Amino acid sequence: MGQGRKGQRSDGRLKVAEPAPAARAKRGHGRNKLVSAAEAVALIRDRDTIASSGFVGTGTPDELICALEKRFLETGTPRDLTLVFAAAPGDGKERGMNRLAHEGLVKRVIAGHWSLVPKLGKLAVENKIEAYNIPLGVVSHLFRDIAAHRAGNLTKVGLRTFVDPRQDGGKINARTVEEIVRVMEIDGEEYLFYKSFPINVALIRGTTADPSGNITMEHEALTLDNLAIATATRNSGGIVIAQVERVAASGVLSPRQVVVPGIMVDCVVIANPENHLQTYGTEYNPAFSGEFKVPLTMLGNLPLDERKVIARRCAFELPMGGVVNLGIGMPEGVASVANEERILSYLTLTAEPGVIGGVPQSGLNFGAAVNNEALIHQNQQFDFYDGGGLDMACLGMAEADANGHVNVSRFGPRLAGAGGFINITQNARRIAFAGTFTAGGLEVEVDNGILRIIKEGRSRKFVKRVEQITFNGSYAAEQGTDVLYVTERCVFRRTAEGMELIEVAPGMDIQDDILAHMEFEPIVKKPAMMDARIFRDHLMQLEESLLGLGLHERITYDPKTNVMFLNAEGMHILTRDDVDRVRRIIEERCQAIGRKVKMVVNYENVFIDQAVADTYAAMIRYMQQNYYTTASRYTSSEFMRQKLDESLTRRRVVPHIFETGDEARDYVAQRGNTERQAKKTWQPEKPKAKSRRR
């Protein structure tokens, strides 16, 4: 990619070169690699390609970036650098890669996200540097491809978006002419191929180093792509510079804690504390690094405004037992609503830099999380995302059009970049885009179940045609993805026919408050009213709604046949409390009836967590012994029939599991107790009298 060290090609194909003599002299095991920041960046040469870690301010090597900027301002070198990063390492103002936004210092930038490096973005939109925006996950995976000397990254991520070469090819301006992505057809299917290129310098960050250059990350909130970047650079014949907060003696670091081994590291720099904050929003929080968990009651609730209204409506889409990604901005409120409604334990929230579980943070802490269950490398997270691991994603929506296309990446002179948006939206099973209906000065009032528009926003967000396609609604419809567009006043769904208005907030007039502020005419059939609970300032009781545990409405009883029917379809039994709730409600109904019943249960699409499967089977055995004359169950899922059969048999309960409801009902009609037994009044079992010795 461009010009590299001596011996490397300029056509983008990798040819491994010998490292610079200064770097080569430093390589080797068991030798002290500790140098000053100035000494480390002195190894960087003109036209080098530099890859940097960092997600906002988490993991951003500011000590090294500051030293590089200082060298350039004082000496005018190095020049014409290519910068490569996945997520924008910056704060949207001065810090991070923003420091390197000097004409002459930078020639080219290849980035997954640009929003938080506006100074570099300004050089790009003013046509002063070559600039590319490709999906964050693709950049993350390219580091691994470069490390392994692969030709590039082959993926469907980016098809039919602005990254597709049939649109912009990820190029940001007219100065950028080299094609780094092309369409390939394999077995009749289209893919995008992103070329790899050598990396000359890696700027990475960790917590502790030893004299051999082994790097641990115990205080970091994220591990990011540090290992992949270091490996890619080492195997390109380049120099790896690591910024840490402390140095340990040789041989004391646990090998299981070492994230980047010393064989890949050339220089270690101890950072000044002000250049090694845990995040740009937090100097250090041990909950971010997993040293302890915090009580979720400490997290505050949102006020009832347009942001909470949107977050609440999106929360109705949360898949219980599923895995979810929440984007930055408006979607962050969904985590707050889920916590307030006490449903976080029923789902797994994730963030693209590698966070699994817990509560993702917002603002300059975005990317970090508290109470997370696991932390993996960023490229591994995108393996999971790209492979369809997300049950749902809730992301921001800057503008949308008649095709359901969404733009979050480019708005005239403002360059935001796609980040992980394209990876996530093209591969999640369900998507909820969240954003206000208009922008720029919108004021609303939520009053006792009614929404009122106090002041309309100046800018329309539902336009005829988006400026840039970050998400292709037509492509999603072809793939059968369920896509919603959630605003404070209405909800749209991308159907096969187009954008359909499906819900309207109470208090809103469809013509005056919705259609009059759109640049296209959506499909309008019979839109429903948005759930009234969204607009009232009290808990919505989402737990029962989402878990399908409104059991009172799910139980029916026919006194003529003495058959009780439980429609458990879609229920998720995840905890012992869920099992107890099912038992208690059925038991109360049986006690009210006053005799044992014949039970039929619909188990279609029911999910029972393996951790409580035996508890659930024990509950069924108890109910069958005390409240049922006979029982049958049915589901079309062979897997569920097998699991129920195993659990109930282990508890010495005859399963009687059928494939259809008719078979289950026929069984209880023909079998079970005799008519005389069915008419017996049920009485609780009396304790046996204790015998006395005489």
Summarised one tens digit per residue, pLDDT across range 542-554 is: 877 777 656 777 8
Please, what sign has the CA dihedral across residues 467, 471, 474, 475? positive
Same domain as 558, residue 523: no
Residue 352 annotated to the active site: yes
Residue where a domain stops, chosen among 535, 559, 592: 535
Mean pLDDT (whole number) for 403-408: 97
Q: Quick check: 667 and 660 in contact, CB under 8 A?
A: no
- Which of 457, 468, 466 lies closest to 401, judged by CA? 466
Strand arrangement of the beta sheet that strand 348-351 belongs to: 374-375, 355-356, 348-351, 323-326, 392-396, 430-434, 482-486, 490-494, 499-504, 523-529
List, in sequence order, the alpha helices (H) in 541-660: 542-547, 551-554, 576-593, 613-626, 638-650
Residue 12 lies in a domain: no
pLDDT for the residue numbered 681: 45
| Confidence (pTM) | 0.79
Flag whether 320 is in a domain: yes
Least Cα distance to 337 among 499, 486, 121, 466 occurs for 486
pLDDT, position 548: 62
Kindly state the DSSP code that residue 55 receives in the 8-state scheme. B
Is residue 305 predicted with pLDDT exceeding 80? yes
Length of the chain: 694
Q: Let me know the angle formed at the C-alpha of 292 by 288 and 293, rounded to the nearest 5 degrees.
A: 80
Confidence at 16, pLDDT banded by 50, 70, 90:
very low
- Helix intervals (H) in 302-418: 306-315, 332-340, 378-386
Tell me: pLDDT of 19 over 90: no
Task: Report the alpha-carbon distance of residue 305 to residue 78 in Å, rounded.
Answer: 50
Same domain, 240 and 332: no
Q: What average pLDDT does range 115-130 have in this prediction?
A: 97
283 within some domain: no
- Give domain status of residue 281, yes or no: no
Query: Do 168 and 131 have their domain in common?
Result: yes
The 10s digit of each residue's pLDDT in 314-368 is 999 998 889 999 998 889 899 999 989 988 888 999 999 999 998 888 889 999 9
Are 611 and 462 members of one domain?
no
Name the percent of the chain lying above pLDDT 90.
Answer: 78
pLDDT tier, 297 (very low <50, low <70, confident <90, very high otherwise):
low
What's the pLDDT score for residue 298? 64
Which of 138-142, 325-329, 592-596 has the highest mean predicted lDDT (pLDDT)?
138-142
Same domain, 241 and 369: no
pLDDT of residue 23 exceeding 50: no
Give yes or no for residue 206 having a pLDDT over 60. Answer: yes
Indicate which residue of 69, 352, 503, 543 is catalytic.
352
pLDDT score of 543: 79
Whether 11 is in a domain gets the answer: no
What SS3 state is found at 219? coil
- pLDDT of res. 30: 47
pLDDT at 674: 43
Q: Tell me if 582 is assigned to some domain.
A: yes
User: Total domain count for the chain?
Assistant: 3
Between 246-250, 349-353, 468-472, 602-606, the lowest mean confidence (pLDDT) is in: 602-606
d(CA 231, CA 204): 11
Using an 8 Å Cβ cutoff, are 158 and 425 in contact?
no
Mean pLDDT of 425-432: 97
User: CATH number, domain at 609?
Assistant: 3.30.750.24
Tokens at 541, concatenated: 């009781």
Pair of tokens at residue 54 = 């960092």
Q: What is the pLDDT of residue 21?
A: 39
**Residue 198: strand pairing partners:** none
Instruction: List the one residue out of 653, 657, 586 whose CA is nearest residue 621.
Output: 653
**DSSP assignments along 539-572, one per residue:** ---HHHHHHT--HHHHEEEETTTTEEEEE-TT-E
Please provide the average confidence, as pLDDT, over all residues in the chain: 90
The range of the structural domain enclosing residue 325 comes to 298-535
The answer to which of 459-473, 545-559, 640-654 has the lowest mean pLDDT is 545-559
The residue with greater pLDDT, 82 or 12, is 82
Percent of residues, the chain, with pLDDT higher than 70: 91
Whether residue 630 is predicted with pLDDT greater than 90 in this model: the reply is yes
Question: DSSP alpha helices (H): ranges in 236-324?
Answer: 306-315
Contact status, residue 217 vs residue 179, Cβ threshold 8 Å: no
Q: pLDDT tier at 18 (50, 70, 90 boundaries)?
A: very low
Q: What is the pLDDT of residues 69-121, one digit of tens each?
A: 999 999 999 999 999 999 999 999 999 999 999 999 999 999 999 999 999 99
Task: Evaluate if residue 192 carries a pLDDT over 50.
Answer: yes
54: left (phi over 0), alpha (psi -120 to 50) or beta: left
The pLDDT, as a whole number, for residue 549 is 56
Rg (C-alpha) for the chain, rounded Å, is 30
In a domain, 688, yes or no: no
